[in-house]
Amino acid sequence: MELGAYYLGNYANIYEYNGFAWSGNDRSLFGNINLPEDFELIYRKSDGRFIPNFFGDKWEKVRVIRDVDKVHAWNDYPMVSQSPAFSKRAIDCLHDLLEPHGEILPVSSEDGDYFVYNCTTQVDILDFDKSVFFHKYKDDQMMGIRGVTKYEFNLSREELDNLPFFRINRFDLEYFVNHRFVDRIREHSLNGFMPIKVWPFPKDTSWKDCYREAMKLSQSAAAKRRNARKNRREVIPPLQPLEFLTL
């Protein structure tokens, strides 16, 4: 696959790809209100950067619950609320790409072995002069992926090659991957991932249009599968791995 940076989404809005949620009873390990806040970036006034927490030996295996219904075995990227989460199969295939850029933390669930991922690689690569935003932001404000119409990165090919999984400064619970990561999930037919390319893009093309089209296609395909089996008591098969990654 050609060079590129991708926003890593999933199919959480489709029933067949239900994910997990935090139980609501897990205490913070860093003095926050609760454990989910520990996965958010922290603003550091000294240099205006947002930095991650590092759990290290503090982490104890916690129990996660079903967000809506059963998490199916084919879902390799169910997420825990807004935090990345992977099946054991996905970890086995992606370990060498994930381990240098974050913490792979085991969780307990009634649907099998899964791991939440604390991404600790955070880079300051967004070109604010060339990128296009819906709103202007102050230096100490977080951003969200949907606040950016067009991304421009200050990044060389070599630098991007070394960023298989990362967060961008001031983007809190938004996660990005590179072409190597996407190649790997394609190679191993991992399921549940929806990477949408955000950079580089032709001048008059928006990543958001591609995102909307991918969501529309995935929902349509899932509905067709459901209708075809509505009179049969069978588990609906998953979408094909990267079925809609055509952009």
Determine the residue type at 152. E
Contact 78, 192 (CB under 8 A): yes
Q: pLDDT tens digits, residue range 21-80?
A: 999 888 999 999 999 999 998 888 787 778 899 999 999 999 999 998 889 888 999 999
Q: How much is the pLDDT for 247?
A: 35
Q: How crowded is residue 128: how many other Cβ atoms within 10 Å of its Cβ?
A: 11
In the structure, what pLDDT confidence band is assigned to residue 221 with cuts at 50, 70 and 90?
low
Phi, psi at 225, each rounded to 5°:
-65, -40
pLDDT, mean of residues 213-221: 69
Q: How much is the pLDDT for 132?
A: 80
Q: How much is the pLDDT for 227?
A: 64
In the structure, what pLDDT confidence band is assigned to residue 141 with cuts at 50, 70 and 90?
low
Report whether pLDDT(240) > 60: no
Phi, psi at 105, each rounded to 5°:
-115, 120
Please indicate whether residue 22 or residue 140 has the higher confidence score (pLDDT). Answer: 22
Q: How far is the C-alpha of 162 from the C-alpha of 243, rounded, in Å?
A: 26
Q: What percent of the chain has pLDDT over 90?
A: 48
Q: pLDDT tens digits, residue range 95-121?
A: 999 999 999 999 999 999 999 999 999
Residue with token string 């926003």: 7
In the structure, what pLDDT confidence band is assigned to residue 5 with cuts at 50, 70 and 90?
very high
- Partner residues linked to 168 by β-bridges: 123
Please indicate whether residue 188 or residue 1 has the higher confidence score (pLDDT). Answer: 188
In the structure, what pLDDT confidence band is assigned to residue 224 with cuts at 50, 70 and 90?
low
